[in-house]
Structure 1
């Protein structure tokens, strides 16, 4: 089975802190979970809180997951040639909008965004590997491992996913039904592959692998 070693966390510059210093006083743009995010051709958006689901829509009407933009990650129309290119708040999110001209005029900002674009590239490869699994269970395991790398918080009992996703949100991300995700999460919990804490967050034990 594929391991997500390519997504192991490496020291990264704190882009959010840099943005706060450069744009002190600029309001963040909030979106509620499930909201579609408006994107413009001359803007880059940076996630300051939460997780954004990136995807596209096929002619058949089916949706496809392209990636997850997690805190400090940039996304936007200038960074993709896929059309239609869609962004939806997978959780409640706060975004900062940056015009391309602002980035071009700030070498420090451009460098910070480039470093986090490298994370997005690694993650894109992981998503490609995930959608290649025919079994829904393997797609779910791989998605949870991806979230572990991106939004995991170490705890005494394992790695806690800092965002709480509904079964429907997980189902949307891997192209299945809520009922199937509910069944598989119960199965994985019985196997000891994951647990659910008192606040309904998923916890992956330290020995968990995809």
Structure 2
């Protein structure tokens, strides 16, 4: 197990809050999950992502799923954050998580403050996803979604931002309420416009140019 959390995982925390999370990280066993695995979220337990990316969804009676957001390093999951049932977390990459009891979080002011900042980040992300529905044109919804993914799950590369996880065309279609065929057509258009490229690992790279 690494001795410290990855340097990017607590970028929005203060030095004190980051040190606290690193101390917890060193002193506990992390639970690993492979890509595609569901991550159990027991009641009254906080689950903190220490490595990797997790997708959060809920299911409807007809079997379809709705995307609630993504959680990267230092971001919390768990039943204390939602009233939805079901509330599901799925690893999009290899993931390590740290599990804390709700009581432990409540009794630590520094830990509570650190997690609150990450909960606020999750709230902003969810609001951004909800705002997608307000755009009438599918192209605009997809462009806004990709821009959001670049902010939340991106890493800088030469000339752009690489989205670190691979989402299928069907995944993207489900988020913005369209068809896989439409997503494929629009992504091809974005590539022709020079706004996106695809790297050798089939990850999308958003170029730092205006595709309008």
TM-score normalised by length of structure 2: 0.81
> How far apart, in 2, do the equivalents of 1:209 and 1:122 lie?
25
**Structure 2 partner of 1:194:** 196
Provide structure 1 residue ranges, at least 5 long, that are not aligned to the other structure.
1-10
Deviation at 1:171, TM superposition (A): 4.2
> How far apart, in 1, do the equivalents of 2:172 and 2:45 lie?
28
> How far apart, in 1, do the equivalents of 2:186 and 2:36 lie?
23
**Structure 1 partner of 2:92:** 90
Distance 1:90 1:187, change over 3 A: same
Deviation at 1:117, TM superposition (A): 0.9
**Structure 2 partner of 1:154:** 156
The question of whether the paired residues in 1 share the 8 Å contact of 2:163 and 2:205 is answered with yes
> How far apart, in 2, do the equivalents of 1:96 and 1:168 lie?
31
> How far apart, in 2, do the equivalents of 1:83 and 1:37 lie?
15
> How far apart, in 2, do the equivalents of 1:31 and 1:209 lie?
37
Question: Could you list the per-position Cα deviations for residues 4-32 of structure 1 after superposition, in whole angstroms to 9, with x for gaps in the alignment?
Answer: xxxxxxx6117665322124242222222
> How far apart, in 1, do the equivalents of 2:109 and 2:93 lie?
31
How many residues align structurally? 200
**Structure 2 partner of 1:125:** 127
Question: Could you list the per-position Cα deviations for residues 138-170 of structure 1 after superposition, in whole angstroms to 9, with x for gaps in the alignment?
Answer: 333222111111122223311222334344544
Structure number with greater CO (CA < 8 Å, separation at least 6) is 1
Which of 25, 28, 44 is matched with 1:26 structurally? 28
Which of 180, 183, 196 is matched with 1:181 structurally? 183
The question of whether the paired residues in 1 share the 8 Å contact of 2:194 and 2:211 is answered with no
> How is 1:108-123 mapped onto 2 (pairs within 5 angstroms)?
108-123=110-125
Distance 1:56 1:24, change over 3 A: same
> How far apart, in 1, do the equivalents of 2:186 and 2:169 lie?
10
> How far apart, in 2, do the equivalents of 1:209 and 1:116 lie?
31
Provide structure 2 residue ranges, at least 5 long, that are not aligned to the other structure.
1-10
Helix, strand or coil for the counterpart of 2:26? coil
Matched, 1:105 2:107: yes
Distance 1:110 1:62, change over 3 A: same
The question of whether the paired residues in 1 share the 8 Å contact of 2:53 and 2:70 is answered with yes
Which of 25, 35, 38 is matched with 1:36 structurally? 38
Question: Could you list the per-position Cα deviations for residues 24-55 of structure 1 after superposition, in whole angstroms to 9, with x for gaps in the alignment?
Answer: 24222222222222111111111122221112
**Structure 2 partner of 1:13:** 13
Matched, 1:74 2:51: no
